[in-house]
Amino acid sequence: MAASIREKQTAALKRMLNFNTPPLKNTTAEPVWKVLIYDRFGQDIISPLLSVKELRDMGITLHLLLHSDRDPIPDVPAIYFVMPTEENIDRICQDLRNQLYESYYLNFISAISRSKLEDIASAALAANAVNQVTKVFDQYLNFITLEDDMFVLCNQNKEQISYHAINKPDIMDTDMEVIMDTIVDSLFCFFVTLGAVPIIRCPRGNAAEMVAVKLDKKLRENLRDARNSLFTGDTMGAGQFSFQRPLFVLADRNLDLATPLHHTWTYQALIHDVLDFHLNRVTLEESLGSEAGARPKKKTKKSYDLTAADQFWQKHKGSPFPEVAESVQEELDKYRAQEDEVKRLKSIMGLEGEDEGAISMLSDNTAKLTSAVSSLPELLEKKRLIDLHTNVATAVLDHIKSRKLDVYFEYEEKLMSKSTLDKSLLDIITDPDAGTPEDKMRLFLIFYITAQQPPSETFSSSQGDLEQYKKALIDAGCDLSPLNYIKQWKAFTKMATTPANYGNSGVKPMGLFSRVMNTGSQFVMEGVKNLVLKQHNLPVTRILDNLMDMKSNPETDDYRYFDPKMLRGSESSIPRNKNPFQEAIVFVVGGGNYIEYQNLVDYTKAKQGKRVMYGCSELFSAAQFMKQLSQLGQK
């Protein structure tokens, strides 16, 4: 499994775009032009991986949505990349009838059923277009890869498999089945693309267990079916050099509700929390400077793509925010130095022009000049990236300052590590200019979740405390319905397991020295404490650690063990394989976020030779999660 999931998915997409033949390595090969048609699912899958320029390089002249009005373009092959739903099939049949393109290459994101295939067949017959349908493929790409080692299941139908949908009290069995099927389908596609059959471990008694059972069954059926098995043959060639199978840990969101609500301090997680960030694209509202006092500021929306090619982003997406600010400053200085170098060459050229005899020196200078000129596009690109990050970081900083997010972060870290609190919670809640009502609600919920004895259950003075808190929250303008749900959840989990321990984390505010260092930088961080994160492990990471290293721990000993390659499934939770695993995939059913992802990445860096991938059924920010909790609390 040397290639990351992103590379594998990109390679699969590129092969599909090349009419499902492996792409040639020729730099100047004759271009074959084609048209790409996708639906919203396909769009979400392709957009983080391939840019429009790359599509053009592969010969795609037009890329269109399936359900838009499309004009006939004869003599051109069309590649379809859609989900096999009813409406899509109908639209394809309509296209066949209207003879829009010369030949059709149909690629379905997940497997298509026989009956739908017959629908297309009959439409093709009716339109006499059977010969035009050149190839039909099942691509098994029903998941979205956002980073080298992070994937989500879907973006379009998030509500169907959201935390709210899985945990709502009035859910019916049929609904649950549908949700489970969707999740299992996507996970199955993921493993097919990865090319490995994992060993599955999951906790007992919740949604994760149901997913694990179904996934195990599906993988087992596919392996048994020797003729059509997806895991044999040349697809496995590259992947099977590692003799170990990966470990697949299924976790449920209910295990740890505090992390999605946590205020964060790393760059990528901050952007996701504070700005509008979807599928690696940030949308900012920028206000242009006002020209006269009376005229209102114009706001424009600008969106930026944060891609794998952006070196700065790759290096710093997990660093704490002050580090990011300094690095942007450094990059800016470096860029200015290079710019000056280019300008200096100009004066050199002027001096050496008259020297006739030294032809070689002249040609040397032209070589230098040519290299400077050819490096100009790189310099421009660098400048663009620096501008991008400057804008993004400034926007984030504005939010931090206005909402005092550093205070929240520090306080929450202290809560989660159960160290002593220097300010009372009530003070922060009643403080009018520290953050939005949402922030306060988040803080209170984390307090409630992590408290060993929640305020309402002990003696009456604490009951009074809870009422006090509630009143303070209502005064600050918060909505209390999430609290109801959290109370229920707390009661439920108290019965089932011991509350999660968040591990030790120390937060050291760096003192004056760093403040002096920072004043030199463009980002003036007065009033914003420079906080340094000490390494700590979130519950998900700890569980992964235990399972990967086969450590014995009361939390994880009770986890179920599934091995699809075994002949008979067993109910035991004793793993057959005693060796520690080298590769793991963590999947959170019910939603995940960047904080957990960052924690896993840090854990992987600390341990040599282990690779961990993170996936979740949906990716939500704290605000979205709060909304779901309040919906649940209102029922």
Partner 1 sequence: MAVDITLLFKASVKTVKTRNKAIGVGFDSMKDDILKRDRPKNGFSTKAKEVLSNISKLKEFLLQHRKDYVNAGSLISSDLTRMTDSERDQIDQDAQIFMRTCSEAIKQLRTDAEKRVISVQMKEHRGAVLDLVDIYLKGVCKLYSEQRAIRVKRVVDKKRLSRLEPEQRGKVEKTPSEDMERTPHEENNVKPTCMVSVGGVDLWEDNKVEDELSPEEIQMVHSHEQRLALTQTNAVKDLKSLQIEGKVVEISRLQEIFAEKVLQQETEIDHIHQLVVGATENVKEGNEDIREAIKNNAGFRVWILFFLVMCSFSLLFLDWYDS
Binding interface with partner 1 (CB under 8 A):
12, 15-16, 20, 27-28, 30-31, 33, 35, 56, 59, 61-62, 64, 70-71, 73-76, 107, 111-112, 114, 117-118, 120-122, 124-126, 128, 130-131, 133-140, 192-193, 195, 228, 230, 235, 359, 366, 369-370, 373, 376
Closest approach of partner 1 to the CB of residue 128, in Å? 5
Structure tokens at 588: 């959170």
In the bound complex, what is the minimum distance in angstroms from residue 136's beta carbon to partner 1? 4
Q: How far is the CB of 383 from partner 1 (least distance, A)?
A: 13
Q: What is the DSSP letter of 226?
A: T
Please, which residue, 115 or 420, has the CB nearer to partner 1? Answer: 115
If the CB atoms of residues 10 and 280 are measured against partner 1, the closer one turns out to be: 10
Nearer to partner 1 by Cβ, of 1 and 478: the residue is: 1
**DSSP states of 134-152 as a string?**
EEEEE----SEEEETTEEE
Q: How far is the CB of 522 from partner 1 (least distance, A)?
A: 22
The pair of three-digit structure tokens given for residue 449, joined into one six-digit string:
């979740």
Tell me how far, at minimum, the Cβ of 46 lies from partner 1, in Å. Answer: 15
Collapsing DSSP to helix, strand or coil, 30 comes out as: coil
Do you know the residue count of the chain? 635
Closest CB 284 distance from partner 1, rounded Å: 22
Give least dist CB 300 to partner 1, A. Answer: 17
Q: Residue 481: count other Cβ atoms within 10 Å of its Cβ.
A: 17
User: Closest distance between partner 1 and the C-beta of residue 272, in Å?
Assistant: 32
Q: Which of 191, 165, 169 is nearest to 253 (CA)?
A: 165
**C-beta of 29: minimal distance to partner 1 in Å?**
8
CA distance 254 to 632: 13
Name the nearest CA neighbour of 613 among 589, 588, 584, 590: 584
Least distance to partner 1, CB of residue 73, Å: 6
Taking the complex as a whole, the smallest distance from the CB of residue 117 to partner 1 amounts, in Å, to 5
Q: How far is the CB of 105 from partner 1 (least distance, A)?
A: 10
The residue (of 100 and 595) whose beta carbon lies closer to partner 1 is: 100
- Measured distance CA(169)–CA(216) in Å, rounded: 27
Residue 32 or 309 with smaller CB distance to partner 1: 32
Placement of tokens 């690696």 in the chain: 280
Nearer to partner 1, 239 or 437 (CB): 239
Nearer to partner 1, 114 or 578 (CB): 114
Nearer to partner 1, 163 or 190 (CB): 190
The Cα–Cα gap between 282 and 594 comes to: 15
Q: From the CB of 586, what's the least distance to partner 1, in Å?
A: 23
Q: Report the alpha-carbon distance of residue 80 to residue 92 in Å, rounded.
A: 9
- Give the nearer residue to partner 1 in terms of CB position, either 367 or 550: 367
Residue with Cβ nearer partner 1 (228 or 552): 228
The torsion defined by the Cα of 612, 616, 619 and 624, in degrees rounded to 10, comes to -130
What angle separates helix 481-496 from helix 437-450, to the nearest 10 degrees? 20
* Token pair 């093709």: residue: 124
CB of 212 to partner 1, least distance (A): 23
3-state secondary structure of 132: coil
Backbone dihedral region for residue 401 (phi beyond 0: left; psi -120 to 50: alpha; all else: beta): alpha
Give the whole-angstrom CA distance, residue 124 versus residue 485: 52
Taking residue 379's Cβ as centre, other Cβ atoms within 10 Å add up to 15
Least Cα distance to 586 among 313, 103, 203, 327 occurs for 203
Nearer to partner 1, 127 or 395 (CB): 127
Distance CA 260, CA 264 (A): 10
Residue among 61 and 311 whose Cβ is closer to partner 1: 61
Q: For the residues of 243-305, what is the DSSP string, one character each?
A: -SPPEEEEEEGGG-SHHHH----BHHHHHHHHSEEETTEEEEEEEPPPSSSSSPPPEEEEEEE
Residue of 50, 40, 49, 51 lying closest to 81 (CA atoms): 40
Give the burial string for 551-580 (b: 16+ CB within 10 Å, else e).
Answer: eeeebbeebbbbbbeeeeeeeeeebeeeee
Q: Pick the closer one to partner 1 by CB: 171 or 348.
A: 348
Which residues does 493 contact at the CB level (< 8 Å), separation at least 6?
254, 499
- Alpha-carbon distances of 587 from 315, 455, 459, 539, rounded to whole Å: 24, 33, 40, 13
Q: Which is nearer to partner 1, 33 or 335 (CB)?
A: 33
**Minimum distance of partner 1 from residue 30's CB (angstroms):** 5
> In this complex, which beta carbon is closest to partner 1, that of residue 373 or of residue 566?
373
**Which tokens is 6 given?**
């992103």
